[in-house]
Amino acid sequence: MEILKAEFIKGVIGDDYGFEDNLPHLAFFGRSNAGKSSVINSLVGRKDFVKVSKMPGKTRQANFFCINDSFYLVDFPGYGYAKCSILERNKMIKRALWYVEFSNVKPKAVFLIIDVNVGLTALDREMIEILKENNHQIVIVANKIDRLAKSVMEKQLSLIQKEARDIPVLRYSARTNEGKDGLIKKIESFV
């Protein structure tokens, strides 16, 4: 699959995830600053398609992007950004959970974006448990591999894979586009 068309459709703040069409959704979850928006930019090949803020935790809405008129990528606000108030953080997490647990538009898969340097955090682990309980397909995208020396990166990736068990872990760099073919293939398998 080639990504030929990418359009911003809407930003959702409340619980209004309903769409008239029946196109599949793929959700991008992850800690704030892990690089969700950057990964989407790299996938669609446009640097400023999704705003990447220097101040993490700024994205407060779930942004829906329609790809090739055939599926949606949903960029969720990141969870766990320390500088947000606890109330705000809880709100973000609740919103993401509502979408995976109760929304009538179940995503075909949830791509959990993590920073390969950081690995899985407590919140990621919690998120994975809840996603599993709700029978969601999960893919972990270990982003920012360009930041590590190859040997360190391989070690880090095998630790992450070991912990993730049967969940696939894809390596990625939104900066260099390494891993793009693999991620697109994975996306294709769900849509």
Name residues contacting Mg ion, limited to 34-63 (CB under 5 A): 36-37, 59
Number of residue whose CB is nearest ligand GTP: 78
Other beta carbons within 10 angstroms of residue 120's beta carbon come to 19
Q: How far is the CB of 59 from Mg ion (least distance, A)?
A: 4
Residues in the chain: 191
In order of 50, 129, 151, the CA distances from 64 in angstroms are: 10, 25, 36
C-beta of 51 vs 155, nearer to ligand GTP: 51
How many CA atoms, within 13 angstroms, populate the side-chain half-sphere of residue 141?
A: 33
Q: Taking CB under 6 A as the rule, does residue 174 contact ligand GTP?
A: yes
Name residues contacting ligand GTP, limited to 81-140 (CB under 6 A): none
Q: Taking CB under 6 A as the rule, does residue 32 contact ligand GTP?
A: yes
Rounded Cα distance, 15 and 128, in Å:
21
130 neighbors 101 (Cβ within 8 angstroms): yes
Other beta carbons within 10 angstroms of residue 69's beta carbon come to 10
C-beta of 17 vs 111, nearer to ligand GTP: 111
Number of residue whose CB is nearest Mg ion: 37
Rounded Cα distance, 86 and 119, in Å:
22
C-beta of 39 vs 66, nearer to Mg ion: 39
C-beta of 19 vs 49, nearer to ligand GTP: 49
Q: 101 has which bridge partners? A: none
Chain residues in the site for Mg ion (CB under 5 A)? 36-37, 59
Binding site for ligand GTP (CB under 6 A): 30, 32-38, 52-53, 56-59, 77-78, 143-144, 146-147, 173-175
